[in-house]
Structure 1
Amino acid sequence: QRDPLDEKVVLLVHYLLQRYQKKELITKAGMLRNVIQMYRNQFHEILKRTSEHLELVFGLDLKEVDPNRHIYVLVNKLEPSYDAVSGDYGGVPKTGLLMTILGVIFTKCNCANEEQVWQTLNVIGLYEGRQHFIFGEPRKLITKDFVKEKYLEYRQVPGSDPPRYEFLWGPRAHAETSKMKVLEFLAKVHDTIPSAFPAWYEEALQDEEERAQARAAARAHTAAMASVLHARSDKGAKSQDEERASTSQAQPRTDHYRRTRLDDKAILLVQFLLRKYNMREPITKEDMIKQVIKKHKVHFPEILRKASELMVLAFGIDIKEVDPTNHSYALISKLQRSGDDRLRGEEIMPQTGLLMTVLCVIFIKGNCATEEDIWEVLNVIGIYADRKHFIYGDAKKLITKDWVQERYLEYRQVSNSDPPCYEFLWGPRAHAETSKMKVLEFLAKVHNTVPSAFPSWYEEALQDEEERA
């Protein structure tokens, strides 16, 4: 039988959440009159347990802001990056519950079985098959809603019969929180500090370091794309013979490029758009101005134009306005996928731009490019054969093995070469999913011109279009 004080705790939690939802004043007098009643001598104990429950389940901190009049407020303690955790239930933050589940997953070596998750949730009053007064049916919430929102991944344990299931962090959890934030949450629940859990603390520190490196590399990568765009010749494309004499069309000089404040906003907008792309979330002008552009909204068209160029060059993605009335946009890959296939790793960052760059080099080198030709161009945008890249990982493996296995590229030894040299050609899947004209349009966009500015390549691309028709 439940302790009477526990009954009061449940009632007080309910009462405080209702006040929080309606943005009504919370006072000690109101709590005593409406909930505590004859248990006023145990008020402090009931309030302490209630505070712990609010923090653990909802991520809310109960604070007394006026000791004289005993006025309290509820503060959302956990602020995820960008636009916060969505889908509040009736105005009640779900952050605390989600952080609890993420904590279980983290402490179970980043993969927790269903039994382990329910064992923890039972402790805080959530049971499978039993309606919760705030969250409704908990099983639906954690196995469907959180999964649909990409906070959790829910999958069958391989080879389990009868089937058993396990939870992992979803891509949105990785984007909006971190192992250190989750560990800080757990430490707070246990009234201690993160370093009190040495093994988890070390793992969280390593995760923080990797995230910092990735953020720095992302800024550098996108800035490098910006410098490539701004360093294009003001005179437009040179004659094709001059272009063939060097790879300057694919690797313009970047010596004198200076970033402006609008360039910085364009780089931030690219990262915002990629995040929306990865989360499959709608993109609106209103969100772009509110989250990124802010006080520079008068320059929105110019910033969007710069960001569009970066998206095409770096990631092979077009930004298209699909609803001029509501100013909503869509991100469209320049590579048309067959079936449901996508390039490996696209949940993290699309690789289409890199593939289009490689296909472009092959095309302008007479449809067959040496390995040296490819790396000469890729080095300009910070991708090296012997260095791990923050997006693509082992770029050499990606280009010479993964894309070859996926039939986007053909990689073969140059005939009679000794020592052996290698060259690249388009693979059958590249021929099926893109075309010489699309690749030439990509190249023209990089040089702020039109495909016909490269006469012989344009003629070859037109002929290819005719043959395809």
Structure 2
Amino acid sequence: LDEKVISLVNFMLFKYHMKEPVTEADMKVVIKEYEDHFTEIFLRACEHIEMVFGLDVKRVDPTNHCYGLFIKLGLTYDGVLDGEEGMPKTGILIFILGVIFMKGNSATEEEVWEVLNLTGIYAGQKHAIFGEPRELITKDFVKEKYLEYRQVANSDPAQFEFLWGPRAHAETTKMKVLEFLAKVHGTDPSSFPSSYEEALQDEEESARLHMAVLGFWKLSELNFQKLSELNFLSVEGNRATEEEICISQKEVQSNTIKEYEDHFTEIFLRACEHIEMVFGLDVKRVDPTNHCYGLFIKLGLTYDGVLDGEEGMPKTGILIFILGVIFMKGNSATEEEVWEVLNLTGIYAGQKHAIFGEPRELITKDFVKEKYLEYRQVANSDPAQFEFLWGPRAHAETTKMKVLEFLAKVHGTDPSSFPSSYEEALQDEEESARARISAWSTSTSGAT
């Protein structure tokens, strides 16, 4: 039966290359006199295609018993260029992603080849399925942004390591990769306790971040004509900042809600929430006697993206949101990762936004010029790939905990719902506190 399994695998891969479905009738012709063993041969062929080539065999037409082959785990690249012959190489890609994850989210080149050597794959030695594996891994997968290949910091002599690339992060998850590895070993993901726990946290945080994105999107799609009180408050807030005046409850009631005065509290609270989440401003009472309110930039930041003397909406909301994405992505986020999240909110590079104007210029120039963001080329990336980090002004004016609290509020939860990020933010708060105490002690002793 082994020969028939291999024959069927080759036939199914041929159909995949031709972008044609595979019919049960065709497969039975391939195995000929072993038709009585069709189910066993078919299942073994499917398993082989899954484990070696990283493809799923799925029924696409139950009536006519037709099947299609699809790349696993949500990935969109099989390592075969259009118009070229060759075997799908997704299997080795998934395997390497698994090694990187199991090694703590980065694996040295030596660690990767040590594992691959156990499977009969060697650098510089052509493989029947994967061709020249070193070029495939260090060039093709890197070029397609599934892997990041970089020199280990401060290594002398130079040592290199692999990490997941932005496309891997965008298309699949740690849990999916772990499930694949577990299936290869004939077990389940929980058999790898620490990796399973990390994958679960990753799933939960991704779900929460996605919900936060949806929440931000809903808020950023406000109809300003219907919510005129929001326009009034944001415009008056700019005027209040410039002319050092406040917004009075009387002004709001007479200029915006008029006949809805009985609903003032509800309308006012909703407007305050929108101003906070979309524009990144806090509404605070500055004169309790006369019921006057002022608008203030959130989280200790001192820049709202509106140039003096110019009209425009405050843009602190999108800045805070990007700072949150960078933090949640491990303190650096590739340009692709940032735009992927912003696209979910209806914000696109090169497409003017009702609130934020031309967002690419705002993010890569204005926020960078103001030193809230750092925008730099990823080390050793070829072709050039860029990433965002917090700029020195962001570090000086706000904290990871404040940004995490903002994201949690957008999602309607609390910061501890993002366990790993919350732990890091707590450590950051503690370190900042120790630094302040140390600085105070030094200045006190010097004065003494």
**Counterparts of 1:234 and 1:256, CA distance in 2:** 13
Match of 1:85 among 57, 71, 76: 76
Residues of 2 paired with 1:337 and 1:236: CA distance? 22
Which deviates the most, 227-236 or 148-157?
A: 227-236
The superposition leaves residues 200-222 of structure 1 with CA deviations (integer Å, 9 ceiling, x where unpaired) of: 22232233334345445566678
The residue that corresponds to 2:250 in the other structure is none
Among 6, 22, 25, the alignment partner of 2:21 is 25
Query: What is the deviation of 1:43?
Result: 5.8
The CA distance in 2 between the partners of 1:356 and 1:158, in whole Å, is 25
Q: How many residues align?
A: 344
Q: Which residue of 1 aligns with 2:183?
A: 188
TM-superposed deviation, 1:9: 4.9
2:49·2:56 contact (CA, 8 Å) conserved in 1? yes
1:152 is displaced (CA, Å) by: 1.9
Cα deviation digits, residues 280-329 of structure 1 (max 9, x gap) = 45999xx999x7599xxxx999x9413635x86xxxx526xxxxxxxxxx
Q: Residues 124 and 133 of structure 2 are in contact (CA less than 8 Å); yes or no, is this contact kept in structure 1?
A: yes
- Once the two structures are superposed, residues 170-222 of structure 1 have per-residue CA deviations (whole angstroms, 9 ceiling, x without a partner) of 34433433222221222233343322333322232233334345445566678
Partner of residue 102, structure 1? 97
- The equivalent of 1:364 in structure 2 is none
Cα pair 1:221 1:382 within 8 Å, conserved: no
Shift of 1:26: 1.5
Aligned with 1:140 (options 123, 135, 138): 135
- The reply to whether residue 256 of structure 1 matches residue 271 of structure 2 is yes
- What is the correspondence of 1:14-93 to structure 2 with a 5 Å cutoff? 14-31=10-27, 33=29, 36=31, 46-63=41-58, 71-79=66-74, 85-86=76-77, 88-90=79-81
CA contact (8 A) 1:53 1:124 kept: no
Instruction: Describe the SS at the equivalent of 1:182.
Output: helix
Residue in 2 that maps onto 1:355: 393
Tell me, in whole angstroms, the C-alpha distance in 1 between the residues paired with 2:220 and 2:59. 51
Do the aligned partners of residues 161 and 29 (structure 1) sit closer, same or farther apart at CA in structure 2, a change above 3 Å counting? farther
Partner of 2:286: none
Map 1:267-278 onto structure 2 (within 5 A).
Answer: 278=333
- Whether the 8 Å CA contact 2:52–2:92 is kept in 1: the answer is yes
Residue 199 in structure 1 maps to residue 197 in structure 2? no
Q: 1:33 to 1:200 in 2, by over 3 A?
A: same
Alpha-carbon offset, residue 19 of structure 1: 0.8
Following superposition of structure 1 onto structure 2, how do residues 91-240 of structure 1 map, counting pairs within 5 Å? Answer: 94-121=89-116, 126-132=121-127, 135-156=130-151, 164-215=159-210, 232-234=233-235, 237-238=238-239
- Residue 308 (1) aligns with residue 356 (2): yes
CA distance in 2, matches of 1:117, 1:178: 19
Q: Is the 8 A contact 1:147 1:153 kept in 2?
A: yes
CA distance 1:11–1:336, shift in 2 (3 Å): farther
Question: Take 1:396 and 1:64, find their aligned partners in 2: how far apart are those partners?
Answer: 50
User: For 2:64 and 2:240, how far apart are their aligned partners in 1?
Assistant: 81
Map Cα deviations across residues 21-47 of structure 1 (whole Å, 9 max, x no partner): 32323134434545x568778765654
Q: What amino acid sits opposite 1:85 in the alignment?
A: T
**3-state SS, counterpart of residue 56 of structure 2:** strand
2:376 touches 2:387 (CA, 8 Å); kept in 1? no
**Secondary structure of 1:256's partner?**
helix
| SS in structure 2 at match of 1:335 | helix
- Report SS of the residue matched to 1:166: strand
- TM-score, length of structure 2 as denominator length: 0.53
Distance 1:9 1:162 in 2: 47
State the partner residue of 2:244.
243
Conserved? CA contact 2:55–2:71, under 8 Å: yes
Q: Which runs of 5+ in 1 are unaligned?
A: 247-252, 320-329, 359-370, 405-411, 421-469
Give yes or no for contact 1:180–1:201 (8 Å, CA) kept in 2.
yes
1:341-400 CA-to-partner distances (Å, cap 9, x unmatched) read 758999775546x93898xxxxxxxxxxxx8xx89xx89x9499xx899699659969x9
SS of residue in 2 equivalent to 1:144 = helix
**Aligned equivalents of 1:60, 1:217: Cα separation in 2:** 33
- The superposition leaves residues 65-98 of structure 1 with CA deviations (integer Å, 9 ceiling, x where unpaired) of 678965433244422xxxx535752468654432
TM-score, normalization: structure 1?
Answer: 0.51
SS at match of 2:271: coil
Match of 2:69, SS?
strand
Does the CA contact (< 8 Å) of 1:343 and 1:351 recur in 2?
Answer: no
**Consecutive unaligned residues in structure 2, runs of 5 or more:** 223-228, 248-267, 279-316, 327-331, 379-384, 409-414
Secondary structure at the residue paired with 2:139?
Answer: helix
- 1:46-65, Cα deviation, whole Å (9 max, x unpaired): 54443223212333222456
Aligned counterpart in structure 1 of residue 368 of structure 2, from 306, 322, 335: 335
Give 1:103's aligned amino acid: G
Alignment partners' CA distance in 1, 2:388 and 2:153: 27
Check the 8 A contact 2:78/2:90 in 1, yes or no. no
